[in-house]
Structure formats: structure tokens, C-alpha cells
A and B are shown apart, each in its own frame.
Chain A
Amino acid sequence: MRFMMILIPRGYESAAPDALPSAEAAAKMMDYNMSLQKAGVLLALDGILPPSAGARISYSDGKVTVTDGPFAEAKEAIGGYWIIQVRSREEAIEWFRRAPMSNNDVVEVRQIFEMPEFPEDVQKARKASSTGTS
């Protein structure tokens, strides 16, 4: 089973657009990522820029609104993610218990939906709209 581990660094919601981790923190994180890779559990990972470098697109009543970041109302923001393949939720948690996080950082563990878990009508709709089959 696959999990997305979502990194929520403290204060990232108001970080400057060019905010970078310290060299020391980055080195620790690289070591840690290497341990995931060496165990064969890592499928993908990326760090993402702060919301101040991003934008929000919201949809309401048929209207689309684009707002540039940062977002005053946000209490937290995503700083990156890992996708890992492990055998249980517990294993995912144990891997990330040892991640080199800073004080008050949070990592959220979310299992990835596998296609066969979708109900049949959803799968049918997906099939019908797919461009791969014609």
C-alpha cells in the first residue's frame, strides 16, 4: 500500500517566496531520504515553494477566482511530500517517526486510494472519459 506523507513545516504559511532550509537541515533531510531509498520504500518526493510564491484558484457558483499567495487566512501550509510503499499504516508512521523534523513541524500520513477501491460506477465513468481507449 502507498502513503503520501505530507510535510507541514511550522510557519511555512507566511514564509518568504525564496525561503530555503538551512544547509544543516537540508543535509539531514538528504540523509534521511537516502535511508528511505536504501530500504526500497521511497517512490517519489518533492519539496514545494511557500504559498507566497503560489496562487489559489477557487470555484464558486460557476465563477473562478484566482488569488495570489500568501493567504492571510491559512493557518498552515504544505512544504513537500513523500510517496512511500510499505506494508502497513504503522510502518509508514514508524518510518516518519525518525524523520529529522524541526520543532513544531507536522507530517500528515495519508493512504493513497487504489483504483480497484473505487465503486463500479466511478470506474465506468473513468473508462468512458478516458482518452487512452478509443
Chain B
Amino acid sequence: MSDVAKTIEALWKIESTRLIAAIARVTHDIGIAEELAHDALVTALEVWPEEGIPDNPGAWLMKAAKRRAIDSLRRGRMLVQKHVEIGRELEWQQQRLGDAFEHSLDQVIDDDVLRLIFTACHPVLAVEGRIALTLRLIGGLTTAEIARAFLVPEKTLGQRISRAKKTLSEAQVPFETPSGDELRCRVESVLMVVYLIFNEGYTATSGDEWMRAALSEEGLRLGRMLGQLLPGESELHALVALMELQASRNAARRGKNGEAVLLPDQDRSLWDYAQIQRGMTALEQAQRLGGGAKPYALQAAIAACHMRARTAEETDWYRIVLLYDALLQINPSPIVALNRAVAVGMLQGPAAGLDALDAAATLAGDSELAGYHLFPSVRGDLLMKMGRLCEAREEIQRAIAMTKNLREQELLANRLKQLEKAAF
């Protein structure tokens, strides 16, 4: 890639969100807004290598998008706003559109960006559509980059994005920031999408290393950005805290052969203490806003307990169990119960952990989660600590059969080896 092309790519990542958001204020349709913004980019790619990069690239792109909008209108390809009366003079529409763009150009406001995020994460969309649209419109990622990150063919991803845009358009989703009761569930959707993006990068063990790191960094960036746009939402700060605290362990999570290293075995000197500090600050902010007992804040508080311990032995399991108890109250999920069982096992010994695990398994019942490999894996660990080695071996073998993840299999196979060395 030439230097100019690289610079244009960088500028796109910086400018595209605000550009699309400002255009969408005029068009009220994020699909059309993105196309216009993209057309402007294509023009830039033609013009800038010849004429040089303008001093204010954002304003240049906005002007180019405006020209394209008026062109499309002239050719009758674009319906401006759905509530514009049919039969109005085209010229008037053009004038109006021009003015609206001029206005939008002058003041791209943060609210536009917020509206864009809320629209991309709208619950009318399938979750995977929300993720793809968010990465594309707010992350400035190309379809190819998103496809690479999610290990799907570019064509599939492209279809996913157009389907999402079509759904928004058909459902006539307004380009606005929700208010009142609706705000809560819409914020929840945004939080979920951001955390899923982060986690895709953080936990996936296959696929492109570089792209995965980019995804978790993008999740964090989105979180920080939202924390600025909605400073009063405690759960946004809590989510940022959770992501910062998890990401701060990155350098310690892989051994030198790429194998997974679990929390108790990590070299804590490799943790990023500046990042831990950022996470702690975000968590304090969430707590100051009165959201200390909400789900992300509790999860962040649990992560914070781990990060405060200088050695695995110093971990405050008592506090962690309490936090899991609180989390279980608001979110009685088998996964939370499973994690709680691990903490109970650490605090009160493996027998108590096993009881807690039975309760978690009951909660899972016949659901899909009953087939989750961590159930037998944790059970195997607890049994091993109790010296019930035959049963432990069976559980670990079951766990291996239940996961398709190679790194997990590797980890479990190692544990099986240790177990067999100790017992047989």
C-alpha cells in the first residue's frame, strides 16, 4: 500500500464515524449515509493522491458526500426523509438537502455519534448483524477486516451487513437517542454488543492473531468512547473496567508455545499495571454513580479482586464468593453459578465447591449449558483435590470430549497427564 493510501485508510478510521453520523442526521437512514460516506471516500482515493491531502479532510469528505447526495437526488435514487411530502419540487428538495448538509457539516455533534451507535445496536437486528454494523459504522473496519476477524467468508459478512441495513430501513427505525424506559434496554444492547466484540478478540483461540487483538482493542475503544458520550451510565464505566482488567492480563495468558495459561498460574509481573489502574478508576466511577450492584460492576469487582492479589494465594476468595452471590441474585445463570462454585471450592474446600457445583448443574438442567465442558472440567478438578482420582479422570475425559476448542483440549489433556502421573 502506498503512503497516501495508508494515510487515507487512517483518516477513514478517524473520520468515518462522525461523517456517517452527520450524514445520517440528514438522510435518517444509516444505510444511505454509509453509502454516501463511502462514495466520498472513493472520490478521495481518486483525488488525494494527485492533489495532496486537504488540511481539513473531514470537511472535504463531508462536502464530497453532499455533492453525491444531491446527485443521487437529481437522479431520483434517494428518498430524502420519509416524512417529506411526495410531490414537492425537486429543486426545493435539493436546496433543502444542501442546507441540511451545510448545517450538519458545521456542527457534527456528539449526539449524532450516539444515535449512530444506538441505531447500529438496535434490538430489531440479529445480534451478529448488530456486531457487524457496529464494527463497520463506528469501528471504521472494512467488510474484509470484519470477515477476517470472525472467520467467515467476506461475502457472508457483506450479506450480513446489507441485511441489517435493510431490516433497519424496513422497520423504519428512527435515527435517534432513545429516552425514558426504552433507554435502559437500548443501553443494555449496546453494552452487550461492545462486550461481545471485546470477547471475540479476547477469548477466541483460532483465527488471525492480529485481527483478534484489534477486536479487543476496538471493544475497549468503543467502551471508552461511550463512557464519554453517556457519562452518567454507570454500567458503561463498569464494562470499561471489566474489559481493562481482563485485557491487562493479556501478556500473561499465553505460554511461549502459545498454550493457554490460567489465572492462578499466570506470571503476575506480566500484567499491565497501568491498565489495571485504568480499570480500577473506571470501576470506582461506576460505583460513585451508584451502580456498584449492577451486573457489569459486579463482574468488574470480581476481576478487581483477582488483580489486587500479588500472588494467587493472596486472592480474597471470601469477597469473590460474596460478589458472585450478589451477581447470582440478579443474573441466576448456570455460568455464574459455575464460577461461584470454583470460588466456593477455593474458600471452603473442594467438598463445598462440589455442592455448589451440583446446584449450578441443577440450574443448567437440560439446557444447552448442561453440555458445557467446564462443568465436568471443574468437577474433575474438585474431585482431584479430594483425592477421588478415578472419578476425576472420568470427568476430565468427558470434558475433553465436550470441547472442540484445541487449546482447551490441550489444557485438559495436560491435566489428565498430571492426574495419571499422580495416581496410577
Q: Indicate if A61 sits at the interface (CB-CB under 8 A).
A: no
Q: Indicate if B259 sits at the interface (CB-CB under 8 A).
A: no
Q: Indicate if A56 sits at the interface (CB-CB under 8 A).
A: no
Q: Quick one: CB contact mask for A25-43 with B, threshold 8 Å, 1 for yes? A: 0000000000001111111
- In the bound complex, residues from chain A placing their C-beta under 8 Å from that of B9 are 88, 90
A30 vs chain B, min Cβ distance (A)? 14
- In the bound complex, residues from chain B placing their C-beta under 8 Å from that of A134 are 311
Distance between Cα atoms of A134 and B6 in the complex (Å) = 46
Q: Indicate if A62 sits at the interface (CB-CB under 8 A).
A: no
Q: Indicate if A110 sits at the interface (CB-CB under 8 A).
A: no
Q: Indicate if B125 sits at the interface (CB-CB under 8 A).
A: no
B225 touches A39 (CB 8 A): yes
Contact A39-B274, Cβ < 8 Å, known A90-B6, A90-B7: no
- In the bound complex, residues from chain A placing their C-beta under 8 Å from that of B83 are none
Distance between Cα atoms of A131 and B228 in the complex (Å) = 36
Q: Which residues of B come within 8 Å of A, CB atoms?
A: 6-7, 9-11, 13-14, 110, 214, 217, 220-226, 228-229, 251, 256, 267-271, 274, 278, 310-311
Contact of A120 among B11, B214, B256 (CB under 8 A): B256
- In the bound complex, residues from chain B placing their C-beta under 8 Å from that of A39 are 14, 221, 225
- Interface segment among A63-71, A91-99, A101-109: the answer is A91-99
Known: A39-B221, A90-B10. 16 other contacts (CB 8 A): A40-B220, A40-B223, A44-B274, A85-B217, A85-B221, A87-B10, A87-B217, A88-B9, A88-B10, A88-B13, A91-B14, A94-B14, A127-B270, A130-B267, A131-B269, A132-B268
Distance between Cα atoms of A134 and B268 in the complex (Å) = 10
Most buried by B among A38, A42, A131, A134: A38
Interface of B is mostly: helix
Q: Which 7 A-B pairs have the closest CB atoms?
A: A130-B269, A40-B225, A90-B10, A40-B224, A40-B221, A91-B10, A132-B269
Distance between Cα atoms of A130 and B273 in the complex (Å) = 13
B217 touches A126 (CB 8 A): no
Distance between Cα atoms of A43 and B278 in the complex (Å) = 8
- In the bound complex, residues from chain A placing their C-beta under 8 Å from that of B310 are 132
Contact of A94 among B7, B220, B271 (CB under 8 A): B7
Most buried by B among A86, A87, A132: A87
Distance between Cα atoms of A127 and B251 in the complex (Å) = 12
Contact of B6 among A41, A88, A95, A133 (CB under 8 A): A88
